[in-house]
Chain A
Amino acid sequence: MGENSGWTRDLGLQFFGKVSASISHEMKNVLAIINENVGLLEDLAYIAEKGQPIDPERMKKTCLNMTRQIKRGDTIMKNLNIFAHSIDEANKDIDLFRLVELVASLASRRAALRSVSLVVREPAVPVSLLGNPFLLQNFLWLCLEEVIETVQSGTELLLSVEKEENCSSIIIQGDGGPVFAAGKEMKTVPAAMLAELRAAVKTRGDGRKLLLSLH
């Protein structure tokens, strides 16, 4: 976490806590669905013991449900592992699209609670930069938190990345109204974080587009 200054540690711990809470909740749901499907197979076996035949299609459907949940759980845990290891190196080459994809995935449950969906568009050419991946994830998470609270319920947020001559950008735009009030400050992002990342937050088109520029 860079210089290990107080603000990075405090914000970082809050970020880690929120992500862990969200992921543990999602994993509880995965386990609950598998638990019910296992229970259903037990129920069907019990019914069969009593002489009623089991429909093989019913069994297949139940197994398919479990396979789907196991894949869902595997993706969640892979993302958690990548996220946890993002604190290993304070300065490394970052594939910006992969980072945005990871944060969007971590924030998807939070967004869903406000009926907001997150879509990440892959760039034609990879965009990479040298920096602190954990801090950058934290920055994007904080921005997304504010945007998710700002936009109307039902909004689809499109996240994309761009490389310009002297900077890389993460762009957040909605499919309806503004994603952030033009001229408003991102209140949860401290100035020290922007300085450390050499980042700037700008709005375009009356707040319909939010640009997170990284120099």
Chain B
Amino acid sequence: MRVLLVDDEKEFVATLAERLSYRGIEADFALGGDDALRMVGGVNYDLAVLDMKMPGISGLQLKKRLAEICPTLKFIFLTGHGSEEDYRAGSRESVYYLVKPISIDTLVGKMHEAIQKEGTTHG
């Protein structure tokens, strides 16, 4: 599985990427939407894990643009925001809407589930 993590908290994504690598998941990270859009053009990712609120492009906007570039890409939102509005919007647009902090086992489990699900992303 090849995963793209997108979050403006560098220490968070860098550490998470390292921990995922110990679990056999190849994870790259981007610190914002612009970087993510550049990266997804050159690599075949299976899944993108996106923060909802980031400087520049929001997680929801980014999801739409990534899905246009890579229609088979699956999405998980992983965010510190727990508002009802964000939850509804995030759940509509992705397989899972998860809230930080999260256990790595739960996240990895959801990643595998997301990859196996068919037709769950909305472009």
The chain A residues found within 8 Å of chain B, CB to CB, are: 21, 24-29, 31-37, 39-40, 43, 47, 65, 69, 112-115, 153
In addition to A25-B81, A36-B16, 10 A-B residue pairs with Cβ atoms within 8 Å of each other are A25-B53, A28-B80, A28-B81, A31-B100, A32-B100, A35-B102, A37-B15, A40-B18, A40-B19, A115-B55
Whether B101 contacts A31 by the Cβ 8 Å rule is: yes
The interface residues of chain A lying within 8 Å CB-to-CB of B9 are 29, 32-33
Report if A113-B15 is in contact (Cβ < 8 Å); known contacts: A29-B80, A33-B9.
no
Distance in Å: Cβ of A1 to nearest Cβ of chain B: 25
The interface residues of chain A lying within 8 Å CB-to-CB of B11 are 33, 36-37, 65, 69
Specify the chain A residue showing the minimal Cβ separation from B13. Answer: A36
| 6 interchain pairs, CB-CB under 8 A | A29-B80, A29-B100, A33-B9, A33-B15, A39-B104, A115-B56
The chain B residues found within 8 Å of chain A, CB to CB, are: 8-9, 11-12, 15-16, 18-19, 22, 53-56, 80-83, 99-104
Whether A113 contacts B80 by the Cβ 8 Å rule is: no
Distance in Å: Cβ of B110 to nearest Cβ of chain A: 15
Distance in Å: Cβ of A78 to nearest Cβ of chain B: 20
Specify the chain A residue showing the minimal Cβ separation from B16. Answer: A36
Specify the chain A residue showing the minimal Cβ separation from B55. Answer: A115
The interface residues of chain A lying within 8 Å CB-to-CB of B12 are 29, 32-33, 36
Bound-state Cα–Cα, A180 to B98, Å: 38
The interface residues of chain B lying within 8 Å CB-to-CB of A114 are 55
Report if A39-B80 is in contact (Cβ < 8 Å); known contacts: A28-B99, A29-B9, A29-B100.
no
Distance in Å: Cβ of B107 to nearest Cβ of chain A: 10
The interface residues of chain B lying within 8 Å CB-to-CB of A27 are 80
Specify the chain B residue showing the minimal Cβ separation from A28. Answer: B80
Distance in Å: Cβ of A53 to nearest Cβ of chain B: 16
Specify the chain A residue showing the minimal Cβ separation from B12. Answer: A33
Whether A39 contacts B81 by the Cβ 8 Å rule is: no
The interface residues of chain B lying within 8 Å CB-to-CB of A21 are 83
Whether A113 contacts B19 by the Cβ 8 Å rule is: no
The interface residues of chain A lying within 8 Å CB-to-CB of B15 are 33, 36-37, 39-40, 65
Bound-state Cα–Cα, A114 to B12, Å: 21
Distance in Å: Cβ of A132 to nearest Cβ of chain B: 29
Whether B101 contacts A28 by the Cβ 8 Å rule is: yes
The interface residues of chain B lying within 8 Å CB-to-CB of A40 are 15, 18-19
Whether A28 contacts B100 by the Cβ 8 Å rule is: yes
In the complex, the 4 A-B pairs of residues with the closest C-beta atoms, listed nearest first:
A28-B80, A32-B100, A35-B101, A36-B15
Bound-state Cα–Cα, A8 to B107, Å: 44
The interface residues of chain B lying within 8 Å CB-to-CB of A65 are 11, 15
Bound-state Cα–Cα, A31 to B103, Å: 12
Whether B101 contacts A113 by the Cβ 8 Å rule is: no
Q: Among the interface residues A37, A39, A113, A153, which one has the most CB atoms of the partner chain B within 10 A?
A: A39
Q: Among the interface residues A36, A65, A69, which one has the most CB atoms of the partner chain B within 10 A?
A: A36
